[in-house]
Structure 1
Amino acid sequence: MQLTFDADVERFRAEFAAFLDANLPSEAETGERAYSSAHVPEWARRWQRLLFDSGWLLPGNPPEFGGRNASILEQYVHLEELDRRRIYHSFNPQGLGIIAASLLSFGSEEQKRRWAVPILRVEITAALGMSEPGAGSDLASLRTRAVLDGDHFVVNGQKIWTSGAHDADVLLTFVRTDPDAPKHKGISVLLIPTDTPGVTRRPFGSLIDRDDVDFNEVFFDDVRVPAENLVGALNNGWHVANGSLGHERTLLWLSFALRLEELARDFRPVDALDRDAYARLVMDAQALRLLGSAALARAARGEQDVAALSVLKLLGSEAVQKASEQAMESAGVAALEHPGMTAPYAHLNLEAFSAGWFERYARSFAGTIAGGTSEIQRTIVAERVLGLPRS
């Protein structure tokens, strides 16, 4: 097994690292922060456009879409270099990683030009309208309706947990267009501009985000959407959904591995329980790296292994959650205090994070939900790895 990269991949890494060293925005330029996952400060828009124009935004894309036809291994080291410097390449991650990617996979040439390129160049921002009340993990149970009326669809229904919708310019929205079809069929996908009459967005906070509001309820009341905004074929939205989430999952395990390694760097055990937790954290990080490397090698050979990605997502997200919980327990009441209050908890590098340990622990639950819940991943593993019968 070779756990290093070939010379051409390392040359690619060196070229990107040199670009970052020469072009990173200064600290003075980056003063304005983002307030939601679809709010992009002006400096960040300039940064993303520079990445796009230089072919470093999504290097796996062709040049006209912000890339340079990079291999999966080159895409991997691209993400590593961004993380090494703690850099975002986009403050509209769902727009970049899911919506634009879905348009490039399933959209028409006109949709790529009209919607995908402006999203990639952050001339507009996008949000993902999937989840509904009663249709979260089970997306196929969605009830938002779209009825074709001449050259428009008329949309009625509701979405929830729609991150950044109040700041987004367009929603990639999953709707039911054939109510008589089986629930995994009869679904279609529409691009709905958020300024369309009848679209109402209601942002709401959460336990850990009362100030920086991201979640939204979105209501559609007789919203008329041009038929040309249909993405993919009519009633083929389930295929688009699988592709949309697939874009998110391919290298998702890397983010969990990097978070585990960060936790390992900043958690200094002082007693037997801490040492046991630390050893488990290090082993989980190493296991995730090795399993991920094997999956990466298969992807580089052009092989698809959905079950392996489910194993990696399950292991990574739950390991981060367990490690964050142990760190919070070790910190005791300090976990509820401001990160600057470190004494007498010197074994936890609380100042290493902009957020306290409790916030990190609370946020870890998103990892076991977004991109497919742990329960869904276990079902996939049971059926595709263990060969158990469908329930």
Structure 2
Amino acid sequence: MQLTFDADVEEFRAEFVAFLDQHLPPESETGERSQSCSDVPEWARRWQRFQFDNGWLLPGNPPEYGGRNATVIQQYVHQEELSRRRIYHSYNPQGVGIVAASILSFGTEEQKQRWAVPILRAELTASVGMSEPGAGSDLASLRTRAVSDGDDFVVNGQKVWTSGAHDADVLMTLVRTDPDAPKHKGISVVLIPTESEGLVRRPFATVCEKDDLDFNEVFFTDVRVPKENLLGPLNGGWKVVNGALGHERTMMWMQFADRLHNLSRDFRPVSALDRDKYATLLMDTQALHLLGSAAVAGAARGEVDLASIAVLKVLGSEAERDATEQALSCGGVEALNHPSTTSAFAPYDLDYLSAGWFERYMRSFAGTIAGGTNEIQRNIIATVGLGLPR
């Protein structure tokens, strides 16, 4: 067991730290950020583009796609430094982390240049149209249809919970192209410009976001999409979907670990029971770091361990949910105060006594859903990890 990094990795870290020290935007700019991940201010576009041009946006990518061919371990320390400073390397996380990554994995060269590079350079924003009113956890039950008509697909249907759709330039959309095939076999993925005629986006509020909206309903009524916008093979979209969700889940545990660390700094145990809950938070945080480090080491050896990623996702999201619930309980009435303003890096910079625990608690449930619900993750753990029958 090696608990330290090799010299080349630490050299990589030092180079990135020096880059951040010299070029990180001042807080006077970052404070302009709204709660919506998709509401991208101009300074954030400049910051993302600057990272792309210097190979620090997604360092595992080749240079022409905003990286420097970094190893898995180097990518890990890159994420570690961003987390340590609470820095967002992009304010269009779905576009950079899922859409552009999926296009680079499954797209044609023309699609990479037309869509992926502009998304990575913050010239376009993108969102993912997956969930539907009747197809959430069971995503393969989706009913949005794309019917072939000459050189186009004609799309009809509805999506919901589509983060950032109201500000996106393009939606990576899951559609059913063969209604007679088994449900996992008849799905395709198409890139749909949001200005397409017949496409309507309706943002809606949540309990935590009443003013700065992020979630959307998206309606498609006879939307014509050129067939050149098909991403991956026709009726082979389920592989693209799994790749997209894989991009989302791979380092998700680091976000949970960072949030748990911040929670531990703000938690104020008073009674013996509070201290017991605080100890559980610290142990969960340490366990997540150790299991995550082991998973990263396995990935560096070329191992693909879907079950371990699922374990990390379940452990991290539920530890955060439980910790915020305990903190809310320990804080009593004061913890219910809801902040009227938040910091640039909300919600996890909020001071305990000025409240914020209610928002943290309500937001924590999103972690058990995003990237594949924890119920589905338990199925993966059972069938892939433990070899149990379906």
Fold equivalence (TM over 0.5)? yes
Residue pair 2:185, 2:238 contacting (<8 A) in 1 also? yes
User: Which residue is equivalent to 1:344?
Assistant: none
Q: Which residue identity lines up with residue 48 of structure 2 in the other structure?
A: Q
| CA-CA distance at 1:338 after TM superposition | 4.4
User: Which residue is equivalent to 2:61?
Assistant: 61
After superposition, the Cα gap between the structure-2 partners of 1:2 and 1:57, relative to the gap in structure 1 and judged at 3 Å, is same
User: What's the Cα RMSD here?
Assistant: 1.5
User: Which residue is equivalent to 1:50?
Assistant: 50
After superposition, the Cα gap between the structure-2 partners of 1:5 and 1:354, relative to the gap in structure 1 and judged at 3 Å, is farther
Q: Which residue identity lines up with residue 359 of structure 1 in the other structure?
A: E
Greater Cα offset, 250-259 or 164-173: 250-259
- Tell me how many residue pairs correspond in the alignment: 382
2:361 and 2:351 map into 1 onto residues whose CA distance is: 16
User: Which residue is equivalent to 1:21?
Assistant: 21
Q: What does residue range 135-154 of structure 1 map to in structure 2 within 5 Å? A: 135-154=135-154
Deviation readout 1:288-338 (Å, 9 max, x if unpaired): 111111111100001100001011111111001100100000011111114
2:42 and 2:48 map into 1 onto residues whose CA distance is: 10
Q: Which residue identity lines up with residue 206 of structure 1 in the other structure?
A: T
Q: Among all aligned residue pairs of Structure 1 and Structure 2, give the percentage whose two residues are the same amino acid.
A: 74
| CA-CA distance at 1:137 after TM superposition | 1.0
Residue pair 1:256, 1:320 contacting (<8 A) in 2 also? yes
User: Which residue is equivalent to 2:313?
Assistant: 313
1:130 and 1:354 map into 2 onto residues whose CA distance is: 37
Residue pair 1:39, 1:168 contacting (<8 A) in 2 also? no
1:9 and 1:354 map into 2 onto residues whose CA distance is: 40
User: Which residue is equivalent to 1:70?
Assistant: 70
Q: What does residue range 254-293 of structure 1 map to in structure 2 within 5 Å? A: 254-293=254-293
Residue pair 2:65, 2:117 contacting (<8 A) in 1 also? yes
In the alignment, structure 1 segments of 5+ residues that lack a partner are 341-348
Deviation readout 1:189-220 (Å, 9 max, x if unpaired): 00000000000111110111111111111000
Residue pair 1:339, 1:353 contacting (<8 A) in 2 also? no
User: Which residue is equivalent to 1:217?
Assistant: 217
Secondary structure in 1 aligned to 2:29? coil
Alignment of 1:196 with 2:203, yes or no, is no
User: Which residue is equivalent to 2:374?
Assistant: 374
After superposition, the Cα gap between the structure-2 partners of 1:237 and 1:66, relative to the gap in structure 1 and judged at 3 Å, is same
After superposition, the Cα gap between the structure-2 partners of 1:216 and 1:302, relative to the gap in structure 1 and judged at 3 Å, is same
In the alignment, structure 2 segments of 5+ residues that lack a partner are 341-348
Secondary structure in 2 aligned to 1:135? coil
User: Which residue is equivalent to 1:240?
Assistant: 240
| CA-CA distance at 1:354 after TM superposition | 8.8
1:84 and 1:287 map into 2 onto residues whose CA distance is: 18
Greater Cα offset, 224-233 or 287-296: 287-296
Secondary structure in 1 aligned to 2:248? helix
Q: TM-score of the superposition, structure 2-length normalised? A: 0.95
Secondary structure in 2 aligned to 1:146? strand
Q: Which residue identity lines up with residue 318 of structure 2 in the other structure?
A: E
